Chain A
Amino acid sequence: MKPGIWLLLAGLAATPAYSDEFTEEDLKRWQAEYMKVMQKGEKLFHSTLGTNQVSCDQCHPNGANTHPETYPKFQKQLGKVATLREMINWCLQNPLEGKPLPLDSDEMIALEAYIVWERRGVPLAPGKH
């Protein structure tokens, strides 16, 4: 092996030594960031996102009956195995008579974070109706 390669590997080996040392500060920050997004989702979930004054919580108080732990799964009305975000968009377009959100938008991630938070502790059951 050439000497240059050895130098490169040594440099890499120096950093990972600390990467699993999570500080209390790290944990607090990550939790706070999640809760901030979740709370934004909670607000969106309780507001009228479409055109007909209907909000998500009217059919799904506390996100109930959204069962995010069962996605991806077959959705009859979409005709395919779909993700939770695609299902959220179906709700925005149909019961709420609004426009779909881009799947990677901040609003979509916030809605997903709120729905998942309300089902915390429930075991994953992908594919279940």
Chain B
Amino acid sequence: MKRRNFIKGMGLAGLSATLPFSLVEVAWGMGSKPPEHEPFTFAYISDSHLTHIKGTQFTRNFDQGLRKAVMEVNLMDPKPDFVIYGGDLAQLGKREELDHGLELLSALRPPLKWVIGEHDFYLDMGEYWQDKISPLHYSFDHKGVHFVVLNSILTYEDWIAQWPTPMERMLNMARLDNPKGSPFMVGDEQLRWLAEDLAKYDANVPVVVLSHSPLYKIFKPWNFWTDDAEKVQKQLQRFHRVTVLHGHVHQVLYNQIGNITFYAVMATAWPWPYPVSYVQKPNRVPKLTVFMNRADPFHQRDGTGWDILDLDSGAVTNHYQLWLNENRTVAFDFKLKHPVDLKYQDPDKRIPPQFHY
């Protein structure tokens, strides 16, 4: 393993002291499979939940999280080829919030790729997003890797139609523990598009799917759930290396289902608890996941952060940059055929209290 400083020669000694990140390059993780593409990095920022108060006022803490992410990405060396925004830029989908997010993100130097979240969508059903920001689903190729962006936060027409106003619909979707909530889905139309899109690619091409919600089922009461996830997984089965990156859950979370590796990315707004901490309902939190520690839950930035990912091995190596916790690296282990936390996977090596009361 080779370690190098992530910020170098920036003449920012004072600043770099407060930005404790370094990039760990995993050289041994490639196994017997040589990389078939030019290595590159991209960054991922997600779940900022910018909240409008009134006039030009926004919730300070959430603004600060996104500003910090933008600043850190701009200081990265090597520069990421692009940045993915993983959804939930706004809290209630208001134009004020989306415009404010665009303004804060306009300071980013690398180009942006957008994924829509439910908080951006359910006020106007994605109209403003499509006009001003991005299509809801699309795909692109980058240095030999096929990227697919899915809108995974669609839901059932009956649920959508029951609310008398757009804001009521938005508020009901925005509340995570809403017993009147509705599960997410990709939907048949998009699944047909996905089948056509993937048909053009050889099974050896590494595929990275970007969605807001996890494309598997974790915990329905909080909508850590995509109802037709299995249909998406089925379409991805024939590829040798598939990675799904998602936001929404605001925590370190990873899983392996068949050939598909799933990684959640951090939020810049606030951390969600792991569903195991709600004892009244059963959950399916992946056994692989080593929980994120919250040594100081009382600091605004604790339990939030962002990710930098590299595709050196054709599978994603995910560097979780936890702003007030030990940084974590989760990489695909070709022998075990699933991702492992390079430091904490062994239960004897965990730091107390890496579980929740």
* B51, B271, B357: the one within 8 Å of A125 (CB): B357
Complex Cα–Cα for A69 and B277 (A): 13
Kindly supply a per-residue 1/0 record for chain A positions 59-101, scoring 1 wherever the CB is within 8 Å of any chain B CB and 0 otherwise: 1111111010110000111000000000000100011010000
Contact B273 A64 (CB under 8 A): yes
Please tell me if the beta carbons of B357 and A70 are within 8 angstroms of each other in the complex: yes
Interface pair B271/A59, CB less than 8 Å apart: yes
* A64 lies within 8 A of B357 (CB): no
Stretch binding the partner chain, chosen from B53-61, B64-72, B342-350: B53-61
> Across the interface, which residues of A come within 8 angstroms of B78, CB to CB?
none
Interface flags for B175-212 (1: CB within 8 Å of A; 0: not) read: 11100000000000000000000000000000000000
Residues in A with CB closer than 8 Å to B357 are 67, 69-70, 125, 128-129
Number of interface residues of B (CB under 8 A): 28
Q: Which residue of A52, A62, A125 is within 8 Å of B177 (Cβ)? A: A62
Question: How many residues of A are in contact with the other chain, CB < 8 A?
Answer: 32
Which chain B positions have C-beta within 8 A of A57? 175-177
Using Cβ atoms and an 8 Å threshold, which residues of chain A touch B61? 52, 54, 95
Q: How far apart sit A75 and B298, CA to CA, in the bound complex (Å)?
A: 9
Whether A12 is near chain B, meaning CB under 8 Å from some CB there, is no
- Establish whether residues A77 and B270, one from each chain, have CB atoms under 8 Å apart when the complex forms: no
Is A118 a contact of B51 with CB atoms below 8 Å?
Answer: no
Q: Check A52–B356 contact: CB distance below 8 A.
A: no
- A65 touches which of B51, B176, B273, B280 (Cβ 8 Å): B273
Within the assembled complex, what's the spacing in Å between the Cα atoms of A53 and B52? Answer: 8
Query: How far in angstroms is the closest Cβ of chain B from A108?
Result: 20
Contact of A61 among B51, B272, B356 (CB under 8 A): B272
Residues of B within 8 A of A (CB): 51-53, 59-61, 91, 175-177, 221-222, 270-273, 275, 277-280, 296-298, 300, 353, 356-357
Further contacts, 12 of them, CB under 8 A, given A67-B356, A70-B357, A128-B357: A52-B53, A52-B59, A52-B60, A53-B91, A58-B270, A59-B271, A61-B176, A61-B177, A63-B278, A90-B298, A95-B270, A118-B280
